[in-house]
């Protein structure tokens, strides 16, 4: 029988993901030891309530409420508590004690990533966080390692399964927003308070991580432009379908050049129109996908389950194996790469396309007046569709697709349309992405 040295592993949190990590680690210990070249000993599981009901029946003697003592005695700490505190403090304590850290805590990394990575560099430790962005989908290592010799140009990502499920229901089954959210809640895709998902906050945290990693720069979480899907209507879904699009909530990280020539990064989240021929259009249900455009490698897509206890546990255990191998081999950990130090540019510097739906008076000269507003704003019109408003006599809808333009010019044009006497209502404004 092979004799292995022991790597002590502490687990913080035993929720849906943490309990699955513990189960798999205990059940597959021999196999993992053979892969690592060391025995992975789960020395304890820190929980808030020893008697809480859990998805997995965990050994009682492993449970503890003394997280601080647990992390100080570990070689590797797996943090799956979520939230900012006490997770941040415990991770810093673990790093100070020389432990490597595996985490799936997107909120913590988005808010305090630079602080945590700096702490690891001080002691030669490393943070692994594959599970923080797209659960089972491997995207952190491909961006950090496989594409390290390439230049990433843009990332378009569906990284929130709840909102993708809702929009997909509306598109494929004709659900209203209210009905789609109810179904999502009933099936466990949505929390009782859906704000984090529906408001785009979860996706924005992940956009922060992706942008920082892809462009080797520190991206502040509060600088990410964010819109949620709360105001998406069945009429917008139908209009998108008629124009050959599907609406997806996208997290976008892109290297751009501002009007004044400044090179920088755009990180943004909003519902966008995606051509039905684009690979992201085929991402259904609660699945996630990350579409990467690289200079040499070209377009790449990573697709799979973006949530789920056992699925996310897969990514966590992959990181654990990597951390344990590095622990055995020795040497300093891989720090955060921020050498490019590109600034985060405002949404107004982005170049994109719009689809704008207007309700207008059905009178002669209205189309010419609308076209004049676009021309005055320096925005070129690509397509125009006009149809009679069935609910309001004497009015019509104009669905206008623009050519690519600066966001600030597009927003200014929409503002002038809204103030115009010939426009009754600006019904809908959606950006077009993936072109």
Q: What does the domain layout of the chain look like in residue ranges?
A: 1-135+308-343, 137-306, 350-434
Please give the full DSSP string across 243-283, using - where no structure is assigned: TTEEEEEEEEEEEEE-TTS-EEEEEEEEEEEEETTSGGGG-
Task: Tell me the C-alpha to C-alpha distance, in Å, between residue 419 and each of 375, 399, 426.
Answer: 16, 18, 10
Q: At what angle do helices 309-329 and 16-27 cross, to 10 degrees?
A: 50
What span, in angstroms and rounded, lies between the C-alpha atoms of 344 and 14? 36
Q: What is the pTM (predicted TM-score) of this model?
A: 0.93
What pLDDT, on the 0 to 100 scale, is given for residue 318?
Answer: 95
Three-class secondary structure of residue 72 per DSSP: helix
Output the six-digit token pair for 294: 């690289």
Asked whether 212 and 140 are in contact (CB, 8 A), the reply is no
What pLDDT, on the 0 to 100 scale, is given for residue 337?
Answer: 66
248 is catalytic: no
CATH 3.30.360.10 fits 137-306, yes or no: yes
What span, in angstroms and rounded, lies between the C-alpha atoms of 85 and 65? 15
Over the chain (435 residues), what is each successive 10-residue block's mean pLDDT? 82 95 95 93 96 91 96 96 96 95 96 94 93 92 93 97 97 96 92 92 97 94 96 94 95 96 97 97 96 97 89 95 90 69 95 96 91 96 88 87 97 97 94 93
Angle at 248 between CA 153 and CA 342, to 5 degrees: 25
Asked whether 324 and 76 are in contact (CB, 8 A), the reply is yes
Q: At what angle do helices 309-329 and 29-36 cross, to 10 degrees?
A: 40
- Beta strand pairing call for 127-128 and 395-402: unpaired
What pLDDT, on the 0 to 100 scale, is given for residue 389?
Answer: 76
Residues belonging to the binding site are 12-19, 106, 191
Q: What counts of helices (H) and strands (E) characterise the chain?
A: 15, 17
Task: Tell me the C-alpha to C-alpha distance, in Å, between residue 412 and each of 224, 376, 378.
Answer: 21, 10, 10
Output the six-digit token pair for 48: 């808030």
- Active-site residue, from 39, 206, 248, 353: 206
Asked whether 164 and 158 are in contact (CB, 8 A), the reply is yes
Task: Tell me the C-alpha to C-alpha distance, in Å, between residue 52 and each of 47, 193, 197.
Answer: 9, 22, 26
What pLDDT, on the 0 to 100 scale, is given for residue 363?
Answer: 87
> Who's near 193: CB < 8 A, 6+ residues apart?
none
Given 3.20.20.80, 3.20.20.70, 3.40.640.10, 3.40.50.720, which CATH number is that of 1-135+308-343? 3.40.50.720
Residues belonging to the binding site for NADP(+) are 12-19
What span, in angstroms and rounded, lies between the C-alpha atoms of 344 and 55? 41
Alpha-helical segments (H) within 77-156: 87-96, 106-123, 131-134, 140-141
Sign of CA dihedral 349, 353, 355, 360: positive
Q: Which fold has domain 350-434?
A: Alpha-Beta Plaits (3.30.70)
Residues belonging to the binding site for NADPH are 106
């Amino acid at each position: 029988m092979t004799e292995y040295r022991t790597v002590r592993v502490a687990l913080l949190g035993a929720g849906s993901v943490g309990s699955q990590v513990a189960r798999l680690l205990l059940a597959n210990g021999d196999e993992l030891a053979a892969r690592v070249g060391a025995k992975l000993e789960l020395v304890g599981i820190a929980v808030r309530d020893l008697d809480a009901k859990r998805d997995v029946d965990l050994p009682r003697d492993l449970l503890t409420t003394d997280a601080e003592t647990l992390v100080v005695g570990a070689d590797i700490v797996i943090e799956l508590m979520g939230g900012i505190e006490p997770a941040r403090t415990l991770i810093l304590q673990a790093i100070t004690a020389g432990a490597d850290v595996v985490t799936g805590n997107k909120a913590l990394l988005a808010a305090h990533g630079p602080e945590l990575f700096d702490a690891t560099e001080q002691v030669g430790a490393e943070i692994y966080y594959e599970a923080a962005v797209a659960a089972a989908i491997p995207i952190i290592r491909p961006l950090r390692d496989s594409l390290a010799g390439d230049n990433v140009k843009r990332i378009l990502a569906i990284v929130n399964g709840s909102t993708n499920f809702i929009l997909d229901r509306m598109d494929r089954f004709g659900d209203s927003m209210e009905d789609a959210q109810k179904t999502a809640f009933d099936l466990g895709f949505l929390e009782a308070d859906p704000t984090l998902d529906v408001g785009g906050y979860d996706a924005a945290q992940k956009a922060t991580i992706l942008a920082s990693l892809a462009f080797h720069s520190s991206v502040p979480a509060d600088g990410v432009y964010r819109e949620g899907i709360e105001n998406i209507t069945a009429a917008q879904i139908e209009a998108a379908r008629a124009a050959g699009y599907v609406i997806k909530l996208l997290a976008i990280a892109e290297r751009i050049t501002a009007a004044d020539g400044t090179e920088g990064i755009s990180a943004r989240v909003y519902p966008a129109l995606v051509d039905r021929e684009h690979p992201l259009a085929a991402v259904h249900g609660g699945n996630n996908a990350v579409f990467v455009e690289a200079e040499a490698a070209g377009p790449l897509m990573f697709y799979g389950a973006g949530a789920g206890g056992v699925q996310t546990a897969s990514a966590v255990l992959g990181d654990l194996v990597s951390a344990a191998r590095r622990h055995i081999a020795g040497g300093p950990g891989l720090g955060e790469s921020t050498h490019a130090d590109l600034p985060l540019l405002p949404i107004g510097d982005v170049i994109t396309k719009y689809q704008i739906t207007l309700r207008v008076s059905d009178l002669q000269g209205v189309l010419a007046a609308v076209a004049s507003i676009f021309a005055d704003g320096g925005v070129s019109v690509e397509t125009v569709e006009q149809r009679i408003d069935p609910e309001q006599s004497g009015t019509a809808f104009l669905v206008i697709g623009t050519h690519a333009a600066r966001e600030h010019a597009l927003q200014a044009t929409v503002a002038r349309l809204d103030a115009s006497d010939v426009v009754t209502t600006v019904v809908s404004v959606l950006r077009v992405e993936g072109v």
